[in-house]
Structure 1
Amino acid sequence: MQNDAKKNRLTYYENIPTDIFKDATTASKHVGEEIANLIQENNSVGQTTVLGFATGSTPTQVYDELIRMHNEEGLTFQNVITFNLDEYFPMEPESLQSYVRFMNEHLFNHIDIPEDQVHIPDGTIAEEDVAEYCKNYEQKIQDAGGLDIQLLGIGRTGHIGFNEPGSRPNSGTRLITLDGITRKDAASDFFGEEYVPRRAITMGVGTILDADRIIMMAWGEGKAPIIKETVEGPIRERVPATYLQKHNNAQVILDEASAENLTRKKTPWLLTTCNWDDKLIRKGVVWLCQKVDKPVLKLTDGDYNEHGMGDLLTQFGPAYDINLKVFNELQHTITGWPGGKPNAEDIDRPERAEPYPKRAIVFSPHPDDDVISMGGTLIRLVEQEHEVHIAYQTSGNIAVFDDDVIRFVDFVSEYNEMFDMQQEEAENMLGEIKQFINQKEPAEVDSQAIKHIKGLIRRGEAKAAARYCGVPEEKLHFLDMPFYETGRVKKKPLSEDDIDIIIDLLREVKPHQVYAAGDLSDPHGTHRVCLKAILSALKECQDDDWMQDCYIWLYRGAWQEWDINEIEMAVPLSPQELAKKRRAIFKHQSQKDRPLFPGPDEREFWQRAEQRNRETALLYDELGFAEYEAIEGFVRYKELDK
């Protein structure tokens, strides 16, 4: 009973039952098992199971688990009826962005569900027939006995299905106009916001709330703000997902990252007594400093007592002792020697003094992530004479505008003509490329020749940036991992071939430092997949001799920044070094001015990175440390040490 009481205190502000799992894979397996159990239970008594399905990246691992259970455990879908939430309008079912195609590729083509038991809104019907079609869609759900389970994701606007802000709680299936933010978020799938349909057919909020059970899932740091509003905020039309608070059998399933803004995760001391370890103490003290607008060493006993941290004071006080402990920890994160300072006492430094110089591999998911996220540190490592390798994990070819291809094709054509080097085969190829681009449909997959040219454009830019940072070309590794090479935003699953490429490089270089992107809010998922490949490779190599002396540092910057209480190595940058980092980013000309896939932040990547680096420096300043122009932050990955 005491545990139940403590749990109730922890979830005091939560208006929907919410479970938090370590990661999306574990959470998805849990959801998949619940669905499978219901199907098997209904199958055993001859009952039909009616499921409401969602699209997008959130439920894909649930579908993977259902496919696995079908193939390995004999789970049958012969007695399952499905209804999907929504579809763009207009939309042909064979289009790349069609939810019909999505569901076939991710689930239906791999299980034994009868085709006539699958229902997905039709994006091809005449507009004058939409109202009647939606009415019939609702009737089909009722005729099937209603939805047993409805799966949901959640958009940045708080939409469920395509029920945008302003949707009524009793709304039914209907044609709606998409919110600008929703269209912006979908832009990468359509290779440009201008190609995203402005309307969609969606189940209504009322239809969703009629389901017997609702499971809403969210993964990643990017969803944390809207999850807090949905779970802890009041019910309001502006956030349609809050209507789930009215349902008596709704549940929110989260990974650690998407849950980070919930009170029980962000400030648990406001809810209950805490087991104060070093990590939580640091987090609490940094929060308290920001709450009362004081540097660490000026916090008082009263500050702790008045802001829910009296038990910390009781266990580890007085305030002076706690302040000094945290101040020293934060101070020891700051270093101008990211590779370790040779011939120096290193007990309080984030990196070892020896060996010197070190071999370091900087893994860059896209060809510009290295300089965007840790350009200043990269330059510092080179200047301090470490052996720096850069491994570009993917070609980044889908993020190049067609106009850039035309520009390079014209250059080659005129170069050949100027030097009388024309070759009929080459001219024909160049002509075909121009013709393809001129006739290309929105979101059409590029030809192999165009993908190759776009990859070469980005490779040339990466070489220029690395050269500017002082990294010789022979230390650059273009891995072109196979999972990425689809020509589409949707990638192939990570394979052993991808991981083997990383293993081979690691064993060739035998690094003392590995830098990898921990920026998991990348909306296209490439950073997440690339990190998984690196960690899988490192695990495979963990018994190698060189691994016993290898530190793994995770950087951020392109999409988000580490919280200051998480940072374990803070590398300060002077104004001159920040300017040099900016110029390195500028070498990536195809991403300059307007990147093809900007995500929710429309600013250029250099602007985002500088703002985040400056904000980190400002936070250190406000906590009572030296005033720096900018700081790049890193967190050491230690799971392999366990």
Structure 2
Amino acid sequence: MSINSITHQKAGKFEETRFEKIHNVIFESSNEASILVAKEIASLIKNKQAQNKNCVLGLATGSSPIKIYEELVRMHKEEGLSFKNVITFNLDEYFPMEKESIQSYYYFMHDHLFNHIDILPENINIPDGTIKSDIYDYCMSYDNKIDEVGGLDFQLLGIGRTGHVGFNEPGSHFNSGTRTITLDYVTRSDAAPGFLGIDKVPRKAITMGIATIRKAKRIVLVAWGINKASIVKKAIEGEVSSQIPATYLQTHDNTTFVLDKDASSELTRVKTPWLVTSLKWNEELKRKAVVWLSERLGKSILKLTDKDYNDNGMSNLLVEEGTAYDLNIKMFNVLQHSITGWPGGKPNADDTHRPERAIPAKKRVIIFSPHPDDDVISMGGTFDRLVEQGHDVHVAYQTSGNIAVADNEALKFAEVCKFMSKSTTEVEKIISSINNKGKNSIDTLEVRKLKGMIRRGESFGATRYLGVPDENVHFLDLPFYETGTVKKNKLSAEDINIIINLIEKVKPHQIYAAGDLADPHGTHKVCLDALFKALDELKHKPFMDDCWVWLYRGAWHEWDTHEIEMAVPLSPDQVLKKRTAIFFHQSQKDGAMFQGDDSREFWVRVEDRNKLTAQKYNNLGLADYAAIEAFKRYYFK
């Protein structure tokens, strides 16, 4: 069974619109989607086995296909799926790159798939990042080998933020074959976490070409997460262009894009469904549509007219609501009521139209921070308000964040310790370990402890500055994170129980957590999953009836205006106080390890983001604030 056949049995709302030029399917979660893609691959392998034929697969690397490979491994171990008739060709490899390097795609594929299945070693083909002979001839032979085995039956793809498939960067030709290519800066910045710095990412790669990929009989491209939403829209709805190589797939007659909800969020039928079809309007859609119309026309909400709605596909909304005047006032009030200077609730106030409860007046609060600076970066102003307004605020740093401390920063602290200490044996061991660290080495346990202590000390500096007693600061050091590499362990019961124990101890009225899933190396998502699993186990406890969960976002993305359920305005003084709290995290201030392709420091980008949120509110006709931090409530069932 293929994704095509599976998805056409799903609800009609998933059918393409006139805006779309590639068949695509949207799923609530990447896990559900990955399992179905794995089932299609498994079905193809079995069909080929029944015909006594080889199954030729083109495979991708990166974070997107990992769950697919996990499911294929599970089917092999638990359901007897054999790979003895499978021949694989990987899309690409960094150049130069040793096979043994933990950053190599050779290592990735064996770690995630080949070491766990019964594929014949001679049937595995991965571009050789160590090739020293004529590279042109080598690349030609790679394409020829694919042709000799009958061509690719199935090609699995991801998509980069430049629109690349494989490593076919912008400018790649429609008829390009396997070749070497220079990597785009955005591609290298996205890869930087895996290499612990962009300066260590190779500048070149070997990649299958567009023509090689397009010869595949079946192509499935998977994309997960909000950071892929913009490029997914361009690939599906845009014109074919060498500047976005994924658009070349529009000319392939058996391609499907498999998306999760976030990756699909910019598609016309998702972002503005009223432009596509008649709708059954609910309150969330109404809010979304009115905000979109106001922003599109550059008019405040209260100035929108009947004609504005009719001209932009929302005439049936006015049929339901009566007039633009009535609808405008209703939506204006909804947004107005999301604004509060009392994130813990305003004592002795009517809370009917406030985002938070007035009672109890003094609440117990836990702020969960995936890394030891996400709390002040993402909600430092709200954090400050909660403390100033007398709430019992606890902070829980879910991971040590040690991997984000650069070696030179750790060396600086180690040398200070050496100068201060009479017993220097252990310190000298740490200094030697850092100075002699090999290219593919991971930090020793002692170095990781030092880096974790650096971040712990910085966290105490910030929490003390904001007035939180030390006993309310909790360093959870969740075990899944403590690998010393970007690749983390799977979430375990031990991780979840650590969170459960803290929540049971504090019995909070409010929980704040990072809902920003565009984190470049996935830690935010794992931390949020751990919290959600903990809440699921705790939800039957009596104290949970009075616990509300608010999700913030980090320095990468913000909630869309229509999604915001609590908007906390910051004064200019609070913006400066938040900045100072961020500055305590000195190891992350200059040249942070996971900067992404945004050259601004974290404090700058978050201030710009908070100012932009305030400006959006003002443009809608609401009050003019210096900055706003935004939150969305999470309802656990």
TM-score normalised by structure 1 residue count: 0.96
- Within the candidate set 575, 580, 584, 1:583 is matched to 580
- Within the candidate set 628, 632, 636, 2:629 is matched to 632
CA distance in 2, matches of 1:29, 1:368: 35
* Deviations, residues 112-132 of structure 1 (Å, cap 9, x unaligned): 111111111111110x32222
Is 252-261 or 38-47 further displaced after alignment? Answer: 38-47
Work out whether 1:373 is the aligned partner of 2:378: yes
How far the C-alpha of 1:558 sits from its partner, in A, is 1.6
How far the C-alpha of 1:444 sits from its partner, in A, is 2.9
- Within the candidate set 435, 439, 456, 1:438 is matched to 435
SS in 1 for 2:454: helix
Work out whether 1:395 is the aligned partner of 2:392: no
Aligned to 1:77: 83
* Deviations, residues 222-250 of structure 1 (Å, cap 9, x unaligned): 01111111000000000100000000000
Aligned to 2:473: 476
How far the C-alpha of 1:612 sits from its partner, in A, is 0.8
CA distance in 1, matches of 2:448, 2:497: 23
Aligned to 1:55: 61
SS in 1 for 2:186: helix
CA contact (8 A) 1:391 1:478 kept: yes
* Deviations, residues 138-181 of structure 1 (Å, cap 9, x unaligned): 12211221111100001111010011111111111111111222
SS in 2 for 1:520: coil
Distance 1:7 1:347, change over 3 A: closer
CA contact (8 A) 1:376 1:573 kept: yes
1:349 partner amino acid = R
1:486 partner amino acid = T
Work out whether 1:30 is the aligned partner of 2:36: yes
CA distance in 1, matches of 2:14, 2:491: 40
- Within the candidate set 236, 247, 256, 1:231 is matched to 236
1:12 partner amino acid = R
CA distance in 2, matches of 1:355, 1:244: 57
Aligned to 2:4: none
Work out whether 1:107 is the aligned partner of 2:113: yes
How far the C-alpha of 1:593 sits from its partner, in A, is 2.2
- Within the candidate set 511, 514, 517, 1:514 is matched to 511
Aligned to 1:173: 178
CA distance in 1, matches of 2:13, 2:349: 48
2:92 partner amino acid = D
Q: Which runs of 5+ in 1 are unaligned?
A: 417-421
SS in 2 for 1:565: helix
CA distance in 1, matches of 2:16, 2:127: 40
Work out whether 1:270 is the aligned partner of 2:275: yes
Work out whether 1:546 is the aligned partner of 2:551: no
2:330 partner amino acid = K
Mapping of residues 138-537 of structure 1, within 5 Å: 138-416=143-421, 422-423=422-423, 427-442=424-439, 444-537=441-534
How far the C-alpha of 1:9 sits from its partner, in A, is 8.0
1:438 partner amino acid = N
CA contact (8 A) 1:189 1:443 kept: no
How far the C-alpha of 1:7 sits from its partner, in A, is 5.4
- Within the candidate set 1, 20, 23, 1:17 is matched to 23
What is the number of residues matched between the two proteins? Answer: 629
Is 304-313 or 579-588 further displaced after alignment? Answer: 304-313
* Deviations, residues 491-542 of structure 1 (Å, cap 9, x unaligned): 1111111111111111111111111100111111110111000001100111
Q: Which runs of 5+ in 2 are unaligned?
A: 1-8
CA distance in 2, matches of 1:195, 1:75: 39
How far the C-alpha of 1:557 sits from its partner, in A, is 2.8
Work out whether 1:120 is the aligned partner of 2:126: yes
How far the C-alpha of 1:4 sits from its partner, in A, is 11
CA contact (8 A) 1:191 1:442 kept: no
How far the C-alpha of 1:435 sits from its partner, in A, is 2.1
* Deviations, residues 366-399 of structure 1 (Å, cap 9, x unaligned): 0000000000001101111111110000000011
CA distance in 1, matches of 2:255, 2:228: 18
How far the C-alpha of 1:600 sits from its partner, in A, is 2.4
CA distance in 1, matches of 2:366, 2:269: 37
Aligned to 1:419: none
CA contact (8 A) 1:157 1:164 kept: yes
1:401 partner amino acid = A
SS in 1 for 2:629: strand
How far the C-alpha of 1:466 sits from its partner, in A, is 0.7
* Deviations, residues 594-636 of structure 1 (Å, cap 9, x unaligned): 2111012221111111111111111111111111111000000
1:175 partner amino acid = T
How far the C-alpha of 1:282 sits from its partner, in A, is 0.2
Distance 1:9 1:95, change over 3 A: closer
Q: Percent identity?
A: 58
How far the C-alpha of 1:36 sits from its partner, in A, is 1.0
1:57 partner amino acid = S
How far the C-alpha of 1:436 sits from its partner, in A, is 2.2
- Runs of 4+ aligned structure 1 residues displaced above 4 Å come to 3-10
- Within the candidate set 562, 565, 584, 1:565 is matched to 562
CA distance in 1, matches of 2:578, 2:70: 41
SS in 2 for 1:453: helix
CA contact (8 A) 1:9 1:271 kept: no
Distance 1:10 1:307, change over 3 A: farther
TM-score normalised by structure 2 residue count: 0.97
